[in-house]
Amino acid sequence: MSKHLKFNTFKTKKNVIARFLIVLSLFFFQHVFADGTKQVSPGNNNGTVSTNGTAYLVNPDGASGSSGSYPGSATNTKMRVTISNFNTEKILSGFMPRTLSTTNTTFVTDAFIRITGPSPSNTVVFQSIIPASGPGAITSYLQAWNGPNLGANPSGYTPFSYTPTANGEYTIELYRSTDGGATPVATGGQITFPLFDISVATISGTAPSQTANVIFGRLWSREWSFVTTNLSSTTAGAAYPNVITSSFDGSFYVHTDDGFKSQVIFRPNFRPLGFQLVMNYWGIANTGNFANDSKSRNGTFTAPNTITYPVIPDGYRVFLTSPDVGAFPNGNPGSPAITGGIYGCAPTYYIPYYIDKKGDVAITLDLDGVPGYQPGGADRILQAYDVPVGNNVMAWDGMNGVTPTPGPVPASFSVSVSVLLLQGRVNVPMIDAELNTNGFSATAIFPALGNRPLFWDDTGTGSGLAAFGSAGNNNSNLTTGGVKTLNLKSGILGPTHAWDGSNPTLATPAPLTAGQGSNTINTLEDDYGNGRIINTWFYGAQSESAVRVLSLPGCDNDLDGINNNLDLDDDNDGILDTVENNGLTDPLGDHDADGVPNYIDPQFPGFVDTNFDGVDDRYDLDKDGIINQFDTDADGDGCADAIEGSEYITLAQIHPLTLASTDPNYNYRGQIRVIHDGITVNNNPAQIISTSAASNGVPQIFNPSGSTNNNNSTTNPTNIAGVADNTDGNSDIGQGLGISQSATFNGCTDSDGDGIPDADDLDDDNDGILDTAECPSVNTVVNGTFDTSLANWIVDPNPATNAKWLFTNGVATNNTDGAVNHTLSQTLTNLDKIPDGILSLTLTVGAQDGSNAANSTASLDILLNGVVYATLNNGTARVIGTNNVTMTLQNGATSNFTSYSTASQPTGYVPQTFTLNTFYTGPASAVLSFRMNAQNDDWSIDNVAIPLRVCDLDNDGIPNYLDLDSDGDGCPDALEGSENVTYRMINPMTATSNPGQINVLANGTTAGTPVQIISTFAAARGIPQVVNNAANNYNVLNNTTNIVGAVDNTDGSADIGQSIGTSLNAAQQDIDCRCYKPANIATTGLPTTHGITALGRAGADNGNWPMKITGAYTVLDAKTKGLVINRLTTVQINGLTAIRGMMAYDTDLNCLKIYDGTVWACYTKQTCDQY
């Protein structure tokens, strides 16, 4: 029984209810003239009344359950109208106030209407008693149906009219008063309004025949209060009785907070008697657990006859007509997406997804091979409520949806996955709604999705709601049972969610139970909805992502037999996972113990996902959805990380990244494929790795020898060291990052085509000159050694005090106690010329404590353009053997710094020189800073250096180490180097392939390809053999005995490669470049008809000289004499009447000139076109 009608004298009988189902929605005429009775009591839908009706209920008596809109009522119960244009809009209203009675209601003569203005003033702007006739009175159902009459609508009622003075929300309050409206009556102040209308309208025409143009969808409340009423009974003694035999046949419209609009349609035989109508987001409660808050439940019964109900969370705006779009804008449907793959491994998988609008989500796992979700089979629905905008993760236990016994989905199984975003969630919690035999429906108005699926859970704590109370007690409920919809993909289209007696089902109409519900006349305790809150919910909008087919990952990413959580190298590229993570927290960890790995957890501190694939970009450099430690090409440049790491690995030692999907080794793309010797191919990842404790899962080829470092019982039982170990200068487990995380620099680029990538090649252009010689390093840091002062450095703070960075005996020091952000900085330039995109900062840092600062602390941040890459910390420990000076790396930096202790040196600075490496792609100018914070400990800085390669001598855009003619003098560097390389040992500069490169083997005569002519020995890798000493001249293809290069030591030094020579001096050329181009012998030349001889011969009869010489303008003929050309000044030469071929020596320019038919050309050097 309704809390609003909880009077001991208020009893009723139930008539037998005919069981029928109206499938079609209620039909409304096109011309709607009112907002009120016409909607909640549609009658016969043609202006004639029926026995089914609904009265608005006002009950200010708190003792019997307050409801309705009256002065002092709760905010959510207020009736309000929204004014959008006060210049043209009016509020028109009319009422029939009556008492509350189950048999006969009477007209209330002391009922008042009050309108208050918008917040914050809320002042009373209109107040009037409601008369029995005249303006403001509605005397018949027909008048209420037809709406306001201003002269042009004679079938309507004459309204109260109020003209607003501002836009906003106006409140309509209805109440009883015995002092002219000044004081509302509380006790005994109940009023029902079987006929009412409140409309916002614009007025057209002139009095007395005006038309009210009603703007529908302006009247609303967050909690409506009604009582079912027989509107057809109007005679005295039985007028407008409030009875349960009348059903509520109206419909309501809801506007959700996210802007979606829906219509809720109640069906015949919904007989709630007195009830509140609330539609909200939360359900029956708001604890943050919607799965529970949405459950139907019993009221709280206290024997012998008291029932109370929870306070329903605040509702949405609920309207009697469709909300006006001008005043209540439409929302925006979202666009969900399955953003990445399926992560984790059995039995815990994670599916990242993205939603751009808040809502509830349902992820479909299509496992049965039939497109779409089929309930009852293998398909599985994963769902979550109240999901925020952005990246989110759905957990999955790896089981299918088979009932009653789900089974595991096998690894590598391909799953079709989509995510459904549900918005505009509307709960309809109905308190004490005894019967709803034919259910109800919901229709989406915006977006126009039509009939909506309804959801509910009436199962209570188990199999249904429990009975309470006792027979004969109208506040009891002796029915039991209840069902629920299975999931967010299993809603049921309305009309549905019907109840009558015990054990309702999913069917509509509700099944009848003998002796209960509609089958009994005199009792309420056998009605399923009596004394309960029955909740139903639906969604006003939905959108579903495209289907993606995803594979289930295993627990062993590189398939080497070691699970990821134990494997030190999860992708078999030789780079330890901890190194690939650049000092970040373990991506497979769980920082907040919520079950979601850090790399896909949006709550992980600093989480960033710019491409919305669900994976933290910090762990996924190339944003391909594969974290760096699983990705064999972390920077996405097409070159495998194994190649781009710090050790020397060849393409032959890895599985190509480009393997076809049909290749049996496809799943090993980018992984090492050889054992420790670097030669023996083994396509079983478990046999190319070490299983030693210190190198578990790291390919053998990188590891030093020893049973704890490089053991594999099958392929390396004797713990032999890997051939690539120490090729980067460090004999350790695995390899460093190298350039594997810098897409700007591709480690597979092989500029000279010799099979050795530039990153490992000591001579990138095969000219025999080492790259380091062609492009020597230059320190971009000015005064990094602090020889005489801190010049070129900015000290901050810089007061007139010694409490700052100071110059002390050739070192920058700071011994300020309590230093806060003391900064020593310098603006650097030419950083676009750093080698291989790696900025290498070398420096010496000293830490001082001891007696000067015992048990104190200090930190030193190293920053570039405000980004911290490393922080040195001096802790409080002062124990020999305990390292108190440590370093923390950030933002991808690496370093060879080693922690150390200062305990053995009580005074003075304890220094260490180290290098800090970080990838850098710009800008060319940046600020290097050292920022100190300290209690009492001190820091010193010295020998700061960042090497650059400023080396494009001829400014042709090609750096010297790639330029075959670095000085642009037309002579190849290979010839101009220090060794005696001749033009016969190189390709001509005009060659179509490898121009200017050395092209002979070690012997200096046998031609070879770039791959054949170089040394592959570590110390001479990529340098042509012809210029190397024997100790470093190995090539497995043609020089396995280390034959010395033919021209090695021709510059007086038996070493690797050749020196610069004149290759960087445009004013000097190698002698081999001073040559003549061979004569053209393709055609027969013409006889030469001019010559000068010292040998006494000329003419046809004297040796046919010079005619037998062909293809020349003139011939000189002598054995012991020289030829002196006419010697003239520049002015004299320019004054000649020149003809083509004329020669003269220019005494001003000291050169031989020849006239080519256009200009006099001065020859200062002779070159060959091929060079």
Q: What is the DSSP string of 920-959?
A: ----S-EEEEEEEEESS-EEEEEEEE-EE----TT-SSS-
Of the residues 931, 948, 965, which one is the last residue of a structural domain?
948
Lowest-confidence range among 18-27, 222-231, 546-555, 1006-1015? 18-27
**Residues 724, 843 within the same domain:** no
Percentage of the chain modeled with pLDDT above 70: 94
What would the mean pLDDT of 424-440 be, rounded to a whole number?
92
Residue 64: its pLDDT value, please?
A: 66
Res. 828: pLDDT tops 50 = yes
Per-residue pLDDT tens digits for 666-718? 999 999 999 999 999 999 999 999 999 999 999 999 999 988 999 999 999 99
What would the mean pLDDT of 512-537 be, rounded to a whole number?
93
Instruction: Please state, as a whole number, how many other Cβ atoms lie within 10 Å of the Cβ of residue 1135.
Output: 10
CA separation (Å) from 261 to 324, 328, 331, 444, 454? Answer: 10, 9, 9, 6, 15
Res. 486: pLDDT tops 90 = yes
Is the residue at 900 inside a domain?
Answer: yes
What would the mean pLDDT of 110-135 be, rounded to a whole number?
97
**Residues 572, 546 within the same domain:** no
Residue 6: its pLDDT value, please?
A: 36
Residue 1080: its pLDDT value, please?
A: 59
**Residues 795, 709 within the same domain:** no
Is the residue at 1063 inside a domain?
Answer: no
CB of 53 closer than 8 Å to CB of 194 = yes
* CA neighbor of 665 nearest in space, from 641, 632, 634: 632
Helix (H, G, I), strand (E, B) or coil at 1037: coil
Is the residue at 995 inside a domain?
Answer: no
Domain tally, the chain: 5
- The confidence band for 1164, taking pLDDT boundaries of 50, 70 and 90, is low
- State the amino acid at position 713 in one-letter form: S
**Residues 732, 876 within the same domain:** no
**Residues 328, 373 within the same domain:** yes
**Residues 273, 159 within the same domain:** no
- The confidence band for 232, taking pLDDT boundaries of 50, 70 and 90, is very high
Give CA 504 to chain center in angstroms.
Answer: 46
Res. 1141: pLDDT tops 90 = no
Residue 15: its pLDDT value, please?
A: 31
Residue 1098: its pLDDT value, please?
A: 82
Highest mean pLDDT among 417-426, 794-803, 907-916: 417-426
First to last CA, the chain: 106
Q: Alpha-carbon distance 61 to 184, whole Å?
A: 11
29 or 660: which leads in pLDDT: 660
Res. 1076: pLDDT tops 50 = no
Per-residue pLDDT tens digits for 773-796? 998 878 999 999 999 999 999 998
In sequence order, what DSSP letters do the residues of 614-681 get, joined into one string?
A: SS-GGG-TT-SSS-TTT-TTTT-SSS-HHHHSSS---GGGB--TT--TTSTTGGGTTSB-B-TTSS-B
Is the residue at 619 inside a domain?
Answer: no
Res. 20: pLDDT tops 90 = no
Q: Alpha-carbon distance 242 to 227, whole Å?
A: 6
Of the residues 178, 203, 231, which one is the last residue of a structural domain?
231
- The confidence band for 1047, taking pLDDT boundaries of 50, 70 and 90, is very high
**Residues 387, 309 within the same domain:** yes
Res. 4: pLDDT tops 60 = no
**Residues 720, 843 within the same domain:** no
**Residues 734, 681 within the same domain:** yes
**Radius of gyration of the chain, Cα coordinates, nearest whole angstrom:** 46
Res. 1017: pLDDT tops 70 = yes
Residue 1150: partners with Cβ closer than 8 Å, 6 or more residues away: none
Per-residue pLDDT tens digits for 621-637? 999 999 999 999 999 99
**% helix / strand / coil in the chain, to the nearest 5?**
10, 30, 60
Per-residue pLDDT tens digits for 342-360? 999 999 999 999 999 999 9
What would the mean pLDDT of 285-291 be, rounded to a whole number?
97
Per-residue pLDDT tens digits for 1082-1104? 667 788 888 888 777 888 777 78
CB of 571 closer than 8 Å to CB of 641 = yes
- State the amino acid at position 936 in one-letter form: N
Res. 1153: pLDDT tops 70 = yes
Residue 174: its pLDDT value, please?
A: 99
Q: Alpha-carbon distance 26 to 47, whole Å?
A: 14
For tokens 């009412």, what's the residue? Answer: 196
For tokens 């429990």, what's the residue? Answer: 466
Instruction: Give this prediction's pTM.
Output: 0.74
- The confidence band for 24, taking pLDDT boundaries of 50, 70 and 90, is very low
Indicate which CATH number applies to the domain containing 824: 2.60.120.260
Lowest-confidence range among 234-238, 252-256, 1158-1162? 1158-1162
**Residues 36, 172 within the same domain:** yes
Residue 1082: its pLDDT value, please?
A: 66
Of the residues 913, 928, 948, which one is the last residue of a structural domain?
948
Lowest-confidence range among 763-767, 947-951, 1166-1170? 1166-1170
Q: Alpha-carbon distance 52 to 267, whole Å?
A: 11
Res. 31: pLDDT tops 50 = no
* CA neighbor of 326 nearest in space, from 216, 401, 240: 216
Residue 1053: partners with Cβ closer than 8 Å, 6 or more residues away: 978, 1059
Per-residue pLDDT tens digits for 563-620? 999 999 999 999 999 999 988 999 999 999 999 999 999 999 999 999 989 999 999 9
Per-residue pLDDT tens digits for 292-305? 999 999 999 999 99
For tokens 């702007």, what's the residue? Answer: 125
Q: Alpha-carbon distance 417 to 382, whole Å?
A: 11
For tokens 């050694």, what's the residue? Answer: 785
Residue 11: its pLDDT value, please?
A: 35
SS3 letters for 101-125? CCCCCCECCCEEEEEECCCCCCCEE
- The confidence band for 801, taking pLDDT boundaries of 50, 70 and 90, is low
**Residues 574, 491 within the same domain:** no
- The confidence band for 1074, taking pLDDT boundaries of 50, 70 and 90, is low
What would the mean pLDDT of 1022-1039 be, rounded to a whole number?
95
Percentage of the chain modeled with pLDDT above 90: 74
CA separation (Å) from 392 to 28, 211, 289, 333, 547? Answer: 44, 54, 17, 18, 17
- The confidence band for 33, taking pLDDT boundaries of 50, 70 and 90, is low
Adjacent-strand bridge partners of 484: 457
Q: Alpha-carbon distance 940 to 912, whole Å?
A: 10
Residue 619: partners with Cβ closer than 8 Å, 6 or more residues away: 581, 584, 587, 598, 599, 627, 628, 629
Lowest-confidence range among 20-34, 68-82, 934-948? 20-34
Residue 806: its pLDDT value, please?
A: 93
Q: Alpha-carbon distance 1146 to 82, whole Å?
A: 101
**Residues 191, 127 within the same domain:** yes
Instruction: Please state, as a whole number, how many other Cβ atoms lie within 10 Å of the Cβ of residue 277.
Output: 26
Residue 1052: its pLDDT value, please?
A: 93
As a whole number, the mean pLDDT across the chain is 90
Res. 87: pLDDT tops 50 = yes
**Domain limits for position 795:** 778-948
DSSP annotation of 898: -
Torsion of CA 728, 729, 730, 731, to 10 degrees: 100
CB of 101 closer than 8 Å to CB of 242 = yes
* CA neighbor of 621 nearest in space, from 760, 739, 757, 747: 739
